[in-house]
Structure 1
Amino acid sequence: MLTDESPLSTVYEPTGQDPVVYLKRYYGYDRFRPMQEAIIRSIVSGRDTVVLMPTGGGKSVCFQIPALMMPGLCVVVSPLIALMKDQVEALHLNGIAAAYINSSQGVKEMRDVEANCVSGKIKLLYVSPEKLLSESFYVFLNRMKISMFAIDEAHCISSWGHDFRPEYTQLNTLRKWFPNVPIIALTATADRLTRQDISDRLDMRDPAVFIASFNRTNLSLQVLPGTNRIGQITKLISLKPNTSGIIYCLSRKSCETLATKLMEKGYSAAFYHAGMESSERARIQEAFLRDDVKIMCATIAFGMGIDKSNVRWVMHYNMPKNIEGYYQEIGRAGRDGLPSQTVLFYSFADVATYTQMLTENKPANLELQLAKLERMKQYAEANTCRRQILLSYFSEQLPEPCGNCDVCRSPRITFDATTVAQKALSAIIRLGERVPMNVLIDVLRGSRNYSIVSQGFDKIKTYGAGADLKFEEWRSYLHQLINIGVIEVAYENHYALRKGLLADDVLFNGKTISLVRPDDVPKPVVEKATRTRTESNRDELFERLRTLRKRIADAQNVPPYVVFTDSTLEDMARQRPTTPDAFRNVSGVGERKLEMFGTAFLTEIADYVGVQVGESQRQVRSEAPSRPREAAKPKGSTQQMTLELYQQGMTIQQIAQARELGPSSIANHLIQLSQGGYDVELESLITPAERREIEAAIAIVGIEENRTKPVFDHLEGRYDYGKINITIALMKH
């Protein structure tokens, strides 16, 4: 039922205003992103338009604003129910009249939506391709004026695309039914061949084609060896606590296994794949959207239908089978424009699996799919800027290396390792392709252990041929040779090593092999920049605003990012508005959201600012830290006393003894003093060895807010809570 407060109660009329007026009023932004305004003007002029824009680039605004500016109903073709629901909820909170019709609704609900469309109360209607092309829906559409048809995820219409859907192929019927209505095709991933196919299959007439830059500069790109993936994943996510992320897996079983292992380690994780009951999939997805679940382990069936803007990282447990799919999946990170991380774990075994699947199934476009798989493999094995490779695939050039991928940050130094590869292959062949990696290394290094000698492995010609290399060096080189296809792992034969696809070329055809020395092999390290006091205060306010957003979102029954994105909260934390006019200046605050949420957020900000002002006044009134004294007892606040003793050069234990307090209390005083801007060197309070061991424990069990006992228990009490808290503080800052 519609109410006076519902956005559906507004009847929109074209005003002829400049598009930026709509952008500010409904979306809260002062300027368009690149190409958006040109696309909007093309659509408003009535021209068929093809829009190729990366995920998070703002495709939806390109047809939503024209829908508001033009008379009639904009019909949006969307492939997934979740995507429709997500976008309609977001439009409602922006004060825009939108609705959807799909199989999740009852007959009465559908009829109510249709009635609102006919009466002009709806400006955007989302439908599936199947519903759109039904005879009854054609009769319904003929009852009103249609402003445009917007085909979202348009790559699904092309057999050349990576996500072809047969139900999309009949959409050319729209041109026959409504010859004078413009058609807008939008996609995030389409190469040149796919773009032309989209235009042809939709029977578009001289379409305007807009190709935005694919350069998502806020995404860091990293490829890591596909070894010890669980350990690498837990290390990475422990350094990004309380953030949302997606881990894409190749199989349903690996999704479930990985999610289970992460939950056992204390992480908020769940799995999602097509083999689950639809109701359970919907429940899990909703929990992820609402930040009730932080980590989603999923097959590629997940993610296409969500607009979640605060995904801070995306990992690929397995290599995707083409660059289009990879680019679309990593594009689900950082949609709000904030820095976000992407990690691909690469193993040549994934290439072999895909190759076997394709050759066994023999799809009609087998040659094309194999070629795309090869391009993905080349990307994963690259020793040059990954972003340049990625952009060149989409016919875009990046003149200089990006500086935000693992290769740019840690340039690879390669050497001619053809002889190393030949020694390894020779030993593998002479050992009958039946020994695992550790045994092969022992043979190459000339080990005299019982297992080698008793089996006669010390008698083969290549025994000891690699004695000049350390064990870990051989392990690194063998992993690299596996990744590039020179060697294979026979998983079905106790992980024995055997010749790979390139082995004969290396042995007999003069193929050279370049490898990276072990010290240069990429490692899963996430650097944390030192935070200034101003930045720390901003982060504290951001967390308070994020908590408030979650409460409001739960009350509104919508995902938190639909209320405000993380980037909008960050802008609030920077500007600290305390009046409605100042709140309007925050990026992403439109009139509707100011009306609905302004009071709550302004109150929270004013409360925080008041607390900070009060603390500053108290600090001004307090005495400056006294100079060290030999006999006089320290005076002032408890932290002041600790600071004075620390400045005299006392250790934590000495301060604790002098003040008759526990060492953990003294450690916490020093942490708080350091965060407050005082000259306290936390690094000097813990040895590198102690810090490494505590960090390793944190990587395994994770960090829970205000709860370090799991870490303490895991370390079996070897380190007190003070040293654990110091390590956590160093990791955060």
Structure 2
Amino acid sequence: MEATSKNLTSYLKKYFGFDQFKGQQHEIITTLLNNEDVFVLMPTGGGKSLCYQLPALMSDGVAIIVSPLIALMKNQVDAIRGISENDGIAHVLNSSLNKSETKAVMTDIKDGVTKLLYVAPESLTKEEYIDFFKSVKISFFAIDEAHCISEWGHDFRPEYRNLKSILNKIGDAPIIALTATATPKVQEDIQKTLGMQSARVFKDSFNRTNLFYEIRPKVDQDKQIIKFIKQNDGKSGVIYCLSRKKVEEITQLLQVNGINAIPYHAGLDVKTRSKHQDLFLMEEASVVVATIAFGMGIDKPDVRFVMHYDIPKSLESYYQETGRAGRDGGEGICIAFYDYKDIEKLEKFLASKPVAEREVGMQLLSEVVAYAETSMSRRKFLLHYFGEEFDDKTGEGAMMDDNMRNPKKMVEAKDDAVTALEVVQKTNQKLKLNDIVNVIVGKETSITKSYNLSTEPFFGIGKSKEDYYWKSILRQLIVRNYLEKEIESYGVLKLTKDGKAYFANPTSFEIAEDIDFKKLLSDGAFDKEDTSSTPIAYDDVLLKQLKELRKKIAKKHQIPPFAIFQDTSLDDMTMQYPTTIKELTNVFGVGEGKAQKFGKDFVDFIAKYVTDNDIIRPEDMVIKQLADKSSHKVYIIQSTDRKLNLEDVASAKNLSMSDLLSEMESIVYQGTKLNIDYYIDDVLDEDQQEEISDFLMEAESDSMSTLLKEFSDDYDEEELRLMRIKFISDVAN
């Protein structure tokens, strides 16, 4: 290479306009220019790209930069072309080019015009490219996002695994591997796979001192997100979701609530993705809702918040994605929403994978759970994971996470930890976590019956505490490596060597008091029937009074109270304090028809209550709900008006009969009439219909469990659901 370290600064000024290097950039570049292999571990925003861009511009020949994403390549090529008069200085070579474009790229390389060539690993495997590269001078190889090489990396790509053999075919040139996230294990794997064990390793601190880390429970999640964005109006942010479908849903939810949001995922065509990326960079859109495909290499320094709608599959993913925030050193708020059920879904997904992949995935997930549920400094936890020590008392950024700002009260749970381990041992280590919990709280299930556990003295030993408490104890035992989930017999809990030692000689086992676990949502308290939008806290006094009012109105109309408004609607009224019919329609489960028919008494009562008690109504904005795309309200109403067979209606919309009934229940409970007499008359005779209606008229609840308890011997569930729909439609609407 033609340059030495002495004139590096002048080249830096010439090409990039900077007067000095950042961190270890100078030494990294000097090492590479001296034909040595280099391994760079540098957090997002640390200036990794310059470590290969500058030496490429200074050197004879072309540098081949292996990169995993077309969007990333485009972004970087545009940036390099921006500092040169000749667009040929940087090119991409990937599947997006046609034959004539590929030929033009090769001509620029042959003529010595191109200094940086960005390629996808798949492109390097093509024989014609390998032959071509053999014929030109290669200054060096740069492997960007090098964690993709490792099976233990958060974004493993099999095509990266063979890079070394392909590079050997092309010719001998130094290698620089770069990543923003690598645990010691991943680092070792990358170096070994690329045959660069003797490379000089440069590792910057992973401590992003300006980032604030927070884990929140998945309760009223959409409302939390919208409220946060409204409070941070005008600031740029990224919301990461695990699925394309969720990306689209959240984008639309934000849009209908007046937030300028755009989606970004691999399901969009290249042109749309590129357009959306540019809209975000140009600040014509303030929020990007994206899968992990977004953000790698995107050079927007002033992203002020990064949210994870779903908890990521690994801490590397989490660290890299949160690293998009505050790259300019300014504010960067990182909020992740956590519900252990999401972890269970990911575990089920892993169950179908080959054993080796499953083992890796499970281990990465266990670290995520440990991080989400820890009561220690999140920064200390993260840095330790990446092999870096941190003093959580005096270290820079020590108070920048929710646990350090608001320390959790710790309580001793040694006896309960021992109890849980004892039950695992006494059930011969053959049960899964939920089954162990059922045994501890004394809940009969098919599993407990099949193993005849209800007669054991330890059955129900912990029934004085809730099942979600025991789930948390068991998860903490897993996090602390006292228990492990066996891979082969997926999900079965086994005592580890450490667990057996602890069981024999138990010591303190403190847990955070508010792991209570309602906050971690493992108890399912918010996913019972019809409680998906139940508020966390409501006005008990008002709630009692509204129930009395409902009873009075029900008596006047001679219908059951639940036919007026369901409990979940009353709960929400005590949170929102609606004082107009329009505001009432924003309450959970209240449609316009229901609001018009029964609402006046309720809003008048609430208005007086608010005045009499000097209630300051919550400033929380009312979250407009997207019209549910799975709902086929208009079609169902029109079809029943035309007296179409319900099986045909379900079939036309590709619904099961059960799903169709759910749609119909939603329609009538919100106050719209559905006339299905024509269908029910063919299913049940007049006496049968009257019997069920009479029961509902006197019942305290219209839940299916109540109906089945009364009628399961005489009617099937579908018949009872149909009658419930008819009853609500006829009596309440």
Choose from 46, 53, 58 the match for 1:57: 46
Distance change (3 Å), C-alpha of 1:207 and 1:195: same
Q: Which residue of 2 aligns with 1:403?
A: 399
TM-aligned CA deviation for residue 482 of structure 1: 6.2
Q: Which residue of 2 aligns with 1:514?
A: 511
Q: Any idea what the Cα deviations from partners look like across 1:83-115, whole Å, max 9, x if unmatched?
A: 111011112223383222222223222322222
Choose from 15, 28, 31 the match for 1:26: 15
Q: Which residue of 2 aligns with 1:412?
A: 408
1:332-371 aligned within 5 A: 332-371=324-363
Structure 1 Cα separation of the partners of residues 330 and 184 of structure 2: 29
Matched, 1:42 2:31: yes
Structure 2 Cα separation of the partners of residues 43 and 230 of structure 1: 48
CA contact (8 A) 2:441 2:467 kept: no
Choose from 140, 143, 153 the match for 1:148: 140
Distance change (3 Å), C-alpha of 1:205 and 1:486: closer
Letter in 1 for 2:31: S
1:107-118 aligned within 5 A: 107-118=99-110
Structure 2 Cα separation of the partners of residues 32 and 85 of structure 1: 25
Q: Which residue of 1 aligns with 2:60?
A: 71
Structure 1 Cα separation of the partners of residues 516 and 169 of structure 2: 64
Choose from 198, 207, 217 the match for 2:190: 198
TM-aligned CA deviation for residue 691 of structure 1: 12
Structure 1 Cα separation of the partners of residues 492 and 193 of structure 2: 39
TM-aligned CA deviation for residue 364 of structure 1: 1.9
SS at match of 2:347: helix
TM-aligned CA deviation for residue 185 of structure 1: 0.9
CA contact (8 A) 2:43 2:323 kept: yes
Q: Which residue of 2 aligns with 1:586?
A: none
Matched, 1:180 2:169: no
Q: Any idea what the Cα deviations from partners look like across 1:237-272, whole Å, max 9, x if unmatched?
A: 122212222212233332222222211211112333
Structure 2 Cα separation of the partners of residues 229 and 268 of structure 1: 19
Q: Any idea what the Cα deviations from partners look like across 1:367-398, whole Å, max 9, x if unmatched?
A: 23222211111111111110100010111001
Matched, 1:161 2:150: no
Letter in 2 for 1:26: Y
Distance change (3 Å), C-alpha of 1:303 and 1:76: same
Matched, 1:229 2:244: no
Q: Which residue of 2 aligns with 1:495?
A: none
Structure 2 Cα separation of the partners of residues 279 and 363 of structure 1: 38
Letter in 1 for 2:621: A
Structure 2 Cα separation of the partners of residues 19 and 692 of structure 1: 63
1:438-587 aligned within 5 A: 514-517=511-514
Structure 1, unmatched stretches of 5+, are: 1-11, 435-460, 467-476, 488-499, 524-686, 702-733
Structure 1 Cα separation of the partners of residues 614 and 132 of structure 2: 71
Distance change (3 Å), C-alpha of 1:272 and 1:482: farther
CA contact (8 A) 1:480 1:515 kept: no
Q: Any idea what the Cα deviations from partners look like across 1:22-75, whole Å, max 9, x if unmatched?
A: 223332333222211111111011001111111221111111111122222111
TM-aligned CA deviation for residue 227 of structure 1: 1.5
Letter in 2 for 1:98: A
CA contact (8 A) 1:155 1:161 kept: yes
Relative contact order: is structure 1 or structure 2 higher (C-alpha 8 Å, sep ≥ 6)? 1
Q: Which residue of 2 aligns with 1:320?
A: 312
Letter in 2 for 1:304: M
Structure 2 Cα separation of the partners of residues 104 and 691 of structure 1: 61
1:685-696 aligned within 5 A: 693=617, 695-696=619-620
SS at match of 1:266: coil
Q: Which residue of 2 aligns with 1:211?
A: 203
Q: Which residue of 2 aligns with 1:596?
A: none
Structure 1 Cα separation of the partners of residues 362 and 515 of structure 2: 31
TM-score, normalised on structure 1?
A: 0.58
Structure 2 Cα separation of the partners of residues 43 and 177 of structure 1: 21
TM-aligned CA deviation for residue 359 of structure 1: 2.5
Letter in 2 for 1:90: A
Distance change (3 Å), C-alpha of 1:255 and 1:420: farther
Q: Which residue of 2 aligns with 1:93?
A: 82
Q: Which residue of 1 aligns with 2:484?
A: none
TM-aligned CA deviation for residue 316 of structure 1: 1.0
Structure 1 Cα separation of the partners of residues 218 and 275 of structure 2: 31
Deviates more, 1:192-201 or 1:378-387: 192-201
Distance change (3 Å), C-alpha of 1:515 and 1:387: closer
- Superposed CA RMSD in Å reads 4.0
Letter in 1 for 2:174: P
Q: Any idea what the Cα deviations from partners look like across 1:396-426, whole Å, max 9, x if unmatched?
A: 0012342111111112222246899999979
CA contact (8 A) 1:319 1:350 kept: yes
CA contact (8 A) 1:417 1:515 kept: no
Distance change (3 Å), C-alpha of 1:299 and 1:205: closer
TM-aligned CA deviation for residue 465 of structure 1: 7.3
Letter in 2 for 1:291: E
**Percent sequence identity over aligned pairs:** 40
CA contact (8 A) 1:81 1:305 kept: no
